[in-house]
Amino acid sequence: QVQLVESGGGLVQPGGSLRLSCTASRIISRFYTMGWYRQAPGKQREVVATMTSDGSTNYADFVKGRFTISRDHAGTTVYLQMRSLEPDDTAVYYCHIAGELRGGTAFWGQGTQVTVSS
């Protein structure tokens, strides 16, 4: 089974930066998308950013150019560099991987807390 290990969350002031990391222990296919989702209490989980196996990226509108997703394909590691953080960014951030081929499997990390507060 694939295990996702996340790190990098914490408490940061508005306008500050954090870098989240997620490493997959193993992936069954070389064709997979890695990404970050977030969920605040009482709200639905929402996508933040994704990167496909060929390097294509997508960002949620609320990112507003503040975040950058990157990926170490060899190490099956995905990063989320966040800057200009706002209080509304406060949430649990979850790493996610999903196979891109038909029948591919998806996995979630345990989540890492990001709190943006003065």
The confidence score (pLDDT) of residue 4 equals: 92
pLDDT tens for residues 3-50?
999 999 999 999 999 999 999 888 767 788 999 999 999 999 999 999
Strand ranges for the chain from DSSP E: 4-7, 10-12, 18-24, 32-39, 46-51, 57-59, 67-72, 77-82, 91-99, 106-108, 112-116
How confident is residue 101, by pLDDT bands cut at 50, 70 and 90?
confident
pLDDT of residue 75 exceeding 70: no
Predicted local distance difference test score (pLDDT) of residue 102: 84
Is there a contact between 10 and 90 (Cβ–Cβ < 8 Å)? no
Flag the least confident range among 55-59, 102-106, 112-116. Answer: 102-106
What was the pLDDT predicted at 73? 65
